[in-house]
Structures are given as C-alpha cells and as structure tokens.
Structure 1
C-alpha cells in the first residue's frame, strides 16, 4: 500500500527549518546532523520538503498505527539527496480525522 493521497501531502516549514535541519534544536540536532551531511540546507528547505514528499509517494507504507487523531503512516525507503548518496529513511505522516491529506510528522535515519 502507498501513502493515501500522497499528492496532497503537506509539510510545515517550521518542522524542517526549526527542527529537522536545525543544529540548534536540542531534540532535532542528531537528525539535523544526519540530513545536513547529505547536502540539505535550511536555505533550500523547499528541496528537502520535496525530497520528503517524493520519498513518501515512491515507497510502500511499512506500518500503519491508529491514533486518536487519525492513522499514522510510516514509509521506509531511500530519499533523494543533493549529494546523491540517497540514505534510507523513515518518514511519518498522519491523516487527521477531519482531513484527507497526509500531514508530515517527522523523518529519521533507517538502517538497511
């Protein structure tokens, strides 16, 4: 199964600039170090957002967890990076109960 309505997916800018690519965020620092190593940058956060969308749309859902707010979809697979190394990551998306579009929750490295 693929992420439902992946073409409608939404990613909050602050989730990327203030968390996933921010070396200043104590909770996101290790994720930022990982993604920055592959050539992503805060200055071009839109490229990272597009790579996350493409990763989610291109790979099968590995896990679905039902939450009180709606189903949460975990997608595992390589992400296209600026330096071309394309590491395997897990992206997490949620479709809220009152919505039909996937909302980006987080991403993190995944071992092969």
Structure 2
C-alpha cells in the first residue's frame, strides 16, 4: 500500500507518475527533497536526459540552489511572494558578485548585499 512507502519511495512514485505520459512540460516542486544524495543525483541526470530526448521543459520550484544551478536555464528569485530578480544562473551569480546561486539566494532572502542595494534603489523610484 502507498501509505506504507517511505518519503523517498513516495517521491520516486510521484516522479514516475509525472513522466508516464511523456509530457512536454513537467511541473516539479522540490523533486529531490526526500531522496538520498545518490538517488537525487540520478534523478537530476535522468530529468536532464529526459528533457533532451523529448524536447521537454521543466518548471522547477526548489530551495536547493545547487539543483537549480545545475538544471535551470532561467531562474526567477522570489522574496516574500514576489519576484525580485531573474536571469541565468551565471548571470545572477555575476550580478551579485557571488560564487554560487546559494549565496545569491541567501542575499535575496536576507535582503543583504546586492539585494539590499536593489531594494533601496527600487524604493527611490
């Protein structure tokens, strides 16, 4: 019975169900959150290959910025329910002067660094 599955098993079943009809658009919310690192890495690779083979796209909601950096061509950053910035992972990293997307995410979430300067400039306009 499905009620006896672990969180990771439920995640794998959910992913399998989402792929069964070979959709061109996948809507995924934290698709690897309950998976062990090895399985999560396999799932990310599988999804990347799936998109290439099926010319599909993924709309991914995630707090895992390493996953976002690896899988996404374009990123929307949100704070308090509002989109505050967008761009490619590399573009956001460069704009914020950071080493990775996790650091950019933390700047935005905390309102520090470039994110704080952007908010001040936006309030003056």
- Higher strand proportion (structure 1 or 2): 1
Q: Which has the larger radius of gyration?
A: 2
TM-score range relative to shorter protein: under 0.3
The two structures have a TM-score, normalised by structure 2, of 0.25
- Higher helix proportion (structure 1 or 2): 2
The two structures have a TM-score, normalised by structure 1, of 0.27
Structure with larger RCO (C-alpha < 8 A, sep 6+): 1
